[in-house]
Each structure stands twice: as C-alpha cells, then as structure tokens.
C-alpha cells in the first residue's frame, strides 16, 4: 500500500531515482491507506496515557502473548541462555498505552541497548537534515567528508541508506572468525576511533547502488555525514535537538572517539521511549501536527529497494530491507515469494536489533509494538510474537 501511495504521488523533490512500483506488489488492497497529512494524534505528552481498554483486555490473547514472550519455565541463569528471553514489551494502540510488561530485572525506567534498531534513528535524522535542506540524498559522501579515498566518492547518502555502498564488508558477530568481522573491527578494533573513515577506506566490492548487503559500516558513514551537516543548525548534540527532544524521547546515544554518533548500534532508551519513535513513524514523520520528516520520506524508507530486488548479497531468510527499515514484503525477484512474517499485515515495518530488539509499526492498525530482549539462541519468531501482539490489540477494541 505504501508503494501505491508512492505511485500516486509525484516523486518527492528530494528523492533519488525513485524505484518504480512493482505491479505485483501494489494491487493487494489488504490494508488501509496511512494518513498522508499531519495527524493531531493522540501523541504522548510527558508520558503515554493509558488506553481505556487496558483494563479489559482479552485475557486469552494476553495469556497467549505472555506464554510466548515470558515462558514460565525460563531459567535466566541458564549458562547456555536458551529460550525466549524478553526484557520488556510495550503495546501502543491508538496512541495510548494498551499493555506493557518487564522482566529480567528491567522496569519501565531502565534503558535498554537498541543495537541495530539504532540504524532506523539514523535514517530519520537524515530525513530531518533533508527537510532542512542541509543534505540531499544524492550527495556524494565526499561532499561532506574530507580526505576520503577518491574511490569512495561515487557513494551517495542514498546508496548508504539502501545498504548499497559496495564497500567490501563482512557483517558478522558471533559464530564466525571474529578477526574477519568488519563490524567487530569497526566497533571494537582498528576502526573504533573513527568508524566512518575506517568504513570508507575499504576496497570496493561492487559499484555503488549495484548491490544490497546489510552493513553497519554504511550506516556509520551516514552518521559521519550528519555530524558535518547538522551541528551548525542543531549544535553538537543534534540527535536531541533535531529529533529526540521534539518527540519527548529520552535516550543515550554513544559516539566514537572521533565524535561521530555510532549510528549503527549504540542507542539506549526504555521501551516506552522507543515507542515514541514508532509513533512518529506511524504518523508519517509528524508529531503533534508538526512535520519532522519530509513528505514521502517514510514511504521512501519503507519501500523495497532495487538492490534487494536484483542483487542482494548474503541475504538472510526473510531479510527484506527498505532504507534502514525491515519490511514485511515479498520480493519474488529475490526468491522471497512470501512476506517474511505471513501472520501479520504487509504494511508492517520495523527497526530491529541484535538479540531481538524491535520497534514495530503497523500503519493500518494504528499500532506500535516494542520489544527489548536478550535472545541469544536465534529461535525467536517475529511472526509469532507480532501476531500475538496484534491479537491483544484487536481484542482491545473498545
């Protein structure tokens, strides 16, 4: 549906080679069209208001969700750390707090590491910069960063946002030779003092824009570009002044030794505060009637990119990316014939991180679901979790 909206609108002036909509993907009128004007909300003020239905939720739906997310027989002291290990879950329905629960010593005031869900925040900061005219998505990274190898100057911000830089990168954490991991070298090894420069110094594997390969490195080059264009307007702490303060979100966002925010990995916030970010996206980048993101930015970010369609490298099962968001869209050209989470609506898009952090936005259902976790065994099912959460929300219809 997002693709349909895009197809009907003129291309946004800031857009870079907008991808033509795939007819196979646009003619399933399964979900309602998200509002494309700035909504009045409700939005949370100092904190979320409780949803009127919060006291009368469908008990069976809640029990099923909790049985999956908070299994009664889970042993937090298990040395192998197997099982679904949920630290927190928050469901925001119709702009109000419908359900929340915490475990593992967390409570509503404990910040949790978002890991790669941070990447979607970097996308949104780039959107603010574009709105303000501080950045264009087809700017070369060399327009903003000095002293990079000449070969990297063909890379644009749009290439980075679609994980299409073409830098020769290996994104792996546990389970592979750690010394071969580009992401470990960036965060904890030779790259940690200036992550963007480390990334942009990699040899080229492919032409920029020709391929898709998920890379934390690409995100941190975007972060370094933002570090050049944002401070003149927003100060050194631009993530707060440009984005987090306007949506009332408290967060920690760590930097590298060069002062670049680690856009790939290091944002910390409580689930309630992470849900504010989801609510911003649910309302197409608007907050309390004010547009923080350019019109069409969220749709552009949540569309299947050309790289995913035609040449995705090392694509994991169900891995369908937009521009720094996870999508629930089939990509038949890439062999993804079913949507990644078949039990939930196709318009769902999400920020996701290691150990199963996620901020899930359901535009057709006026719903945001946040989950923080410590899952280490790879068995967690987003499809199951999200369908159970959706059932709780639908049972909460007043």
Partner 1 sequence: MSPRTAMALALLGAALLTGCAKKGDVRTYDNSLFELASAFAAKETCSCRFVMQREEDFCREWVRVSPNVAKPKVDEEERVVTARALGMGKATARFVDDQLGCVLDE
- Which residue do the tokens 């580009």 mark? 182
CB atoms within 10 A of CB 40: 11
x-or-dash string of contact with partner 1, 353-392, rule CB under 8 A: ---------------------x------------------
Residues within window 66-95 making contact with partner 1, judged by CB under 8 A: none
Contact between residue 354 and residue 64 where contact means Cβ atoms under 8 Å apart: no
The yes or no reply on residue 253 touching partner 1 (CB under 8 A) is yes
The yes or no reply on residue 190 touching partner 1 (CB under 8 A) is yes
- Please, what is the minimum distance in Å from the beta carbon of residue 184 to partner 1? 6
The yes or no reply on residue 149 touching partner 1 (CB under 8 A) is no
> What residues have CB less than 8 Å from 327, skipping those under 6 apart?
302, 303, 304, 320, 321, 340, 348, 349
The yes or no reply on residue 108 touching partner 1 (CB under 8 A) is no
Distance of CA 313 to the CA centre of its chain: 20
Q: Which of 248, 266, 291, 364 binds partner 1 (CB under 8 A)?
A: 266
The yes or no reply on residue 224 touching partner 1 (CB under 8 A) is no
Q: Which strand (E) or helix (H) includes residue 91? A: strand 86-93
- Please, what is the minimum distance in Å from the beta carbon of residue 177 to partner 1? 5
The yes or no reply on residue 337 touching partner 1 (CB under 8 A) is no
Q: In what order do the strands lie in the sheet with 112-113?
A: 112-113, 267-269, 252-253
The alpha-carbon radius of gyration of the chain (Å, integer) is: 20
Nearer to partner 1, 11 or 252 (CB): 252
Nearer to partner 1, 57 or 185 (CB): 185
Q: How many residues bind partner 1 (CB under 8 A)?
A: 35
- Interatomic CA distance for residues 63 and 124, integer angstroms: 35
The yes or no reply on residue 112 touching partner 1 (CB under 8 A) is yes
Partner residues linked to 290 by β-bridges: 287
**Nearest to 277, CA basis, from 346, 341, 200, 369:** 369
Q: Which residues bind partner 1 (CB under 8 A)?
A: 105, 110-113, 168, 170, 174, 177-182, 184-185, 187-193, 237, 240, 251-257, 266, 268, 374
């Amino acid at each position: 549906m997002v693709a349909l909206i895009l197809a009907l609108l003129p291309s946004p002036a800031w857009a870079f080679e907008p991808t033509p909509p795939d007819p196979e993907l646009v003619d399933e009128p399964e979900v309602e069209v998200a509002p494309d004007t700035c909504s009045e909300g409700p939005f949370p003020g100092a904190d979320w208001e409780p949803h009127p239905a919060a006291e009368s939720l469908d008990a069976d739906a809640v029990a099923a969700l909790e049985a999956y997310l908070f299994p009664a027989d889970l042993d937090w002291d298990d040395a192998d750390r197997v099982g679904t290990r949920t630290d927190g879950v928050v469901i925001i329905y119709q702009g109000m707090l419908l359900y929340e629960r915490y475990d593992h010593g967390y409570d509503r005031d404990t910040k949790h590491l978002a890991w790669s869900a941070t990447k979607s925040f970097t996308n949104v900061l780039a959107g603010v910069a574009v709105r303000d005219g501080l950045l264009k998505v087809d700017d070369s990274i060399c327009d903003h960063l000095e002293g990079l190898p000449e070969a990297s100057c063909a890379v644009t911000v749009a290439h980075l946002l679609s994980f299409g830089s073409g830098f020769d990168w290996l994104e792996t954490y546990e389970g592979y030779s750690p010394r071969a991991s580009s992401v470990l070298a960036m965060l904890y090894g030779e790259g940690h003092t200036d992550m963007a420069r480390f990334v942009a110094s990699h040899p080229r594997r492919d032409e920029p824009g020709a391929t898709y390969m998920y890379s934390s490195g690409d995100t941190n080059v975007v972060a370094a570009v933002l570090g050049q264009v944002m401070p003149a307007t927003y100060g050194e702490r631009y993530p707060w002044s440009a984005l987090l303060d306007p949506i009332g979100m408290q967060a920690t966002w760590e930097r590298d030794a060069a002062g670049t925010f680690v856009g790939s990995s290091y944002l910390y916030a409580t689930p309630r505060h992470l849900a504010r970010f989801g609510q911003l996206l649910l309302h197409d980048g608007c907050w309390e009637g004010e547009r923080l993101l350019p019109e069409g930015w969220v749709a552009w970010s949540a569309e299947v990119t050309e790289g995913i369609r035609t040449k995705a490298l090392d694509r994991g099962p169900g891995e369908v990316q937009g521009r720094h968001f996870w999508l629930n869209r089939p990509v038949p050209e890439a062999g993804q014939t079913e949507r990644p989470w078949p039990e939930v609506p196709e318009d769902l898009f999400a920020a996701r991180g290691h150990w199963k952090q996620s901020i899930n936005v359901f535009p057709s259902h006026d719903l945001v679901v946040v989950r923080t976790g410590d899952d280490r065994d790879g068995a967690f099912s987003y499809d199951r979790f999200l369908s159970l959460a959706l059932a709780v929300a639908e049972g909460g219809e007043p």
